[in-house]
Amino acid sequence: MKILVPIKRVADPANANKVKVDDDATKVTSEGLEWVMNPFDEWSLEAALRLTENAAEKARVGEIVVVSITPGEGDTDHIREALGKGAERGIVVPAGTDEQLDASVVAKILAAVVKKEEPDVVLMGKQAADGDSAVAGTKLAELLEWPVVNYATNIATSDEGKTFEVKRELDIGVQTLKVEGPVVFTSSDRILRPDSIKNGVTPDDFEYADLGDLNSRLSNLKNIMAARKKPIDTMTLDDLGVELGVGTEYVKFTLPQGRSGSAEFVETVDELVQKLQTEAKVL
Amino acid sequence: MTDVLVVAELVEGEARKTTLSAVNLAKTIAEGTGGAFDILAIGAGAAGAAEALTKYGARKVLTAEIEGDYICEKYAPTVAEVADDYEVVAACASTYGKDLMGRVAAKLEAGVASDISGVEVDGDDILYTRPMYAGNVFGTLKVTTETQVVTVRQSEFDPAAEAGGASPVESVDVEEDDVAEKVESLGIEVVKSERPDLTEADVVVSGGRSLKSAENFENVLEPLVDALGAAMGASRAAVDAGYVPNELQVGQTGKVVAPKLYVAVGISGAIQHLAGMKGSKTIVAINKDKEAPIAQVADYFLVADLFDAVPEMTDAVKKAKG
């Protein structure tokens, strides 16, 4: 099975409250924040690794290509990191600026990459932790005329990705779907539960360790060394035959008005309940 | 004059209240531009669901009957075909709305204003505002394509009020795509609760991993939830740990709530959780650790062991409410 995993580079989401807006309010600046792999994509990378390995024998049985559309010259640190975790190859698409890369353009670029690479599956985050739009994956599927399963929590195949049984989280409950590949999946928070992925190769009773607060497996020294030799190809917009041109235009950015920022500490339940009744008047 | 199409969200043959948040947006745009809005009820039982949707001032209510569970590939062709006659197509930014409208937008080659928290009609322009970076930045944008696709954040758009009168109902033809044949729904486990819906409740009580087990959610937290007549929520950590089902998750990747009172029990307050609840009017934190980041948004912070404080508060609330 060949899986394409799009990964976005985002300003460290754990410090999202430190992003600023520039003086004329037309740009978000994240100076001082580290660039990291979008955590939603990182879960998808881990899920893709689980789909393309025999975990019991620690053997790779498929191929993962990570692709990143990166503004400017095309930073590749996050691609190298993904290779260190086990992906086979990387592709960088240097393109424009963050403002020029809305979901419409991203979906078009990814569709062009899919046509070149012909993967069986695209597995990506349901949203990017910076833009929070949650649009690109679904748009990509429509451009490819593939099915999409958003918010997947469980992905199982027993025929090397020809068909999948998938569970996904909706606001009203959990839906189970049977889907024929090739297909786009976007992953939910629960995609990394120990039993979330079944690929028909790793024994069904194998259980992955709980990753806790990690978004994917750590890369070990051997893999990091190996990753240095793995190829990262550059594909330009010209190569892909895609022109920039967005469907949305941001006219300004503002920071939210903070809350009072001063919690009133109370010592007893009685004091709390009394304040909720008389001060806040919510009881 | 901007005409708006609202795509209703049906569950078991009835429109969910999410639909009325999108109707609110549609009314604002239609009134601001001198246009009109229509509502499309699509799915199983659409004709029945349409009846209740005729009361909100729509020029007409359209129905498209499609049997079986919701699948975006089954609905998108019809929505896109109908939507082609409108400048704006809107739905609620629920999982349904986001899932469906991305596909519709691609069919219409439309830009998307996703999960908006506000709208303003400014001459010929419609300006949408939306939270980004887990609610730490607000972006104001225009959609520059011929059709604009918009999904609205339910907690920021009150349900539209009934407008009197009754919109006429018309059925539309159902369109189909080959891609729909590749997907089959084996079922949706719809979760039912006696409690108010999380996104609609006036009071929300959420629990974190500190509750330590599903049993403690039931035995310690739920009595307080019920004493307050509240909806129950949870942090991602508590959902991941399997203490409660995923529908209860509040945060950047869960539901966004803005009740009058939000009580965070044993929740430290990661940025991703704050993104889902910091629009609440009054926020109470109950936590042992007074340094926990939830203090940044809390109005009242009870420094206490939740296993002592929550049962005590349950009694106090019952007493206060008589």
Residue B111 has a pLDDT of 97
Contacts of B56 (CB under 8 A, 6+ apart): B20, B23, B27, B39, B160, B161, B162, B163, B167
Residue A235 structure tokens: 């594909």
| Nearest chain A CA: its distance from B175 CA (Å) | 15
Q: Is residue A97 part of a domain?
A: yes
Question: Where would I find the beta strands (DSSP E) of A2-147?
Answer: 2-6, 9-11, 20-21, 28-29, 35-37, 53-54, 59-60, 63-70, 89-94, 121-125
| Cβ atoms B285, B298 nearer than 8 A | yes
> How far from B250 is each of A212, B44, B243, B246, B276, CA to CA, in Å?
19, 29, 14, 9, 5
A15 to chain B: nearest residue by CA? B271
Residue from B92, B222, B79 nearest A171 by CA? B92
Structure confidence by residue, pLDDT tens digits, A40-76: 999 999 999 999 999 999 999 999 999 999 988 778 9
> How far from B71 is each of A82, B233, B245, CA to CA, in Å?
32, 27, 22
- As a whole number, mean pLDDT of residues B261-290 equals 96
Name residue, tokens 């519709």. B104
Q: Is residue A258 part of a domain?
A: no
Residue B209 has a pLDDT of 96
- Return the higher-pLDDT residue of B321 and B314: B314
Distance of alpha carbon B149 from alpha carbon B98, whole angstroms: 10
Residues A178-199, buried b or exposed e (16+ Cβ, 10 A)?
ebebbbbbbbbbbbbbeebbbb
Q: How many C-beta atoms lie closer than 10 Å to residue A97's C-beta?
A: 10
Residue B124 has pLDDT above 90, yes or no: no
| Tally of domains in chain A | 1
Distance of alpha carbon B46 from alpha carbon B59, whole angstroms: 17
Q: 3-state DSSP helix/strand/coil percent for chain B, to nearest 5?
A: 35, 30, 35
| Nearest chain B CA: its distance from A40 CA (Å) | 10
Q: Is residue A282 part of a domain?
A: no
Residue B123 has a pLDDT of 87
| pLDDT band at residue B113 using 50, 70 and 90 as cut-offs | very high
B137 has which bridge partners? B132
Boundaries of every domain in chain B: 4-182, 203-320
Residue B258 has a pLDDT of 95
- Return the higher-pLDDT residue of A262 and B8: B8
Contacts of B285 (CB under 8 A, 6+ apart): A263, B264, B267, B269, B292, B294, B295, B298, B300, B301, B302
Residue from B166, B214, B168 nearest B60 by CA? B168
Q: Do A246 and B111 touch (CB under 8 A)?
A: yes
Residue B234 structure tokens: 């949870």
Residue A270 has a pLDDT of 95
Distance of alpha carbon A214 from alpha carbon A152, whole angstroms: 19
Contacts of B106 (CB under 8 A, 6+ apart): A107, A138, A139, A141, A142, A143
The verdict on B259 touching A (C-beta cutoff 8 Å) is no
- Residues of chain B positioned with their CB less than 8 A from the CB of A137: 102
Residue A261 has a pLDDT of 66
Q: Which residue segment(s) compose the domain that A172 sits in?
A: 2-253
Q: Is residue A74 part of a domain?
A: yes
Quote the CATH superfamily of domain B4-182.
HUPs (3.40.50.620)
Nearest to A266 among B130, B270, B300 (CB): B300
- As a whole number, mean pLDDT of residues A131-156 equals 97
Distance of alpha carbon B287 from alpha carbon B269, whole angstroms: 10
Q: For the domain that residue A19 is a member of, what is the CATH number?
A: 3.40.50.620
Q: Which helix (H) or strand (E) holds A274?
A: helix A269-278
Q: Do A28 and B255 touch (CB under 8 A)?
A: no
Q: Do B111 and A248 touch (CB under 8 A)?
A: yes
Q: Is residue A265 part of a domain?
A: no
B127 to chain A: nearest residue by CA? A251
| pLDDT band at residue A260 using 50, 70 and 90 as cut-offs | low
Instruction: Report residue B193: phi and psi, to 5°.
Output: -140, 145
Distance of alpha carbon A198 from alpha carbon A155, whole angstroms: 6
Q: Is residue A157 part of a domain?
A: yes
Residue A73 has a pLDDT of 78
Count A/B contacts: CB-CB distance under 8 Å.
277
Helix runs in A216-265, H state only: 221-229, 237-240
- The CATH number assigned to the domain with range B203-320 reads 3.40.50.1220
Would you tell me which residues 148-187 of chain B have a C-beta closer than 8 angstroms to some C-beta of chain A? 177-179, 182-187
| Cβ atoms B137, A250 nearer than 8 A | no
- Residues of chain B positioned with their CB less than 8 A from the CB of A282: 203, 260-261, 281-282
Longest dimension (CA), chain A: 68
Would you tell me which residues 272-301 of chain B have a C-beta closer than 8 angstroms to some C-beta of chain A? 272, 278, 281-285, 290, 295-301
- Residues of chain B positioned with their CB less than 8 A from the CB of A14: 270-271
Distance of alpha carbon A201 from alpha carbon A27, whole angstroms: 47
Residue from A49, A90, A47 nearest A67 by CA? A90
| pLDDT band at residue A272 using 50, 70 and 90 as cut-offs | very high
Q: Is residue A263 part of a domain?
A: no
| Cβ atoms A168, A174 nearer than 8 A | yes
Q: Do B316 and A190 touch (CB under 8 A)?
A: no
- Residues of chain A positioned with their CB less than 8 A from the CB of B11: 172
Q: Is residue A274 part of a domain?
A: no
- Residues of chain B positioned with their CB less than 8 A from the CB of A130: 132-133
The verdict on B73 touching A (C-beta cutoff 8 Å) is yes
Residue A100 has pLDDT above 90, yes or no: no
- Residues of chain A positioned with their CB less than 8 A from the CB of B255: 171
Nearest to B133 among A19, A135, A280 (CB): A19
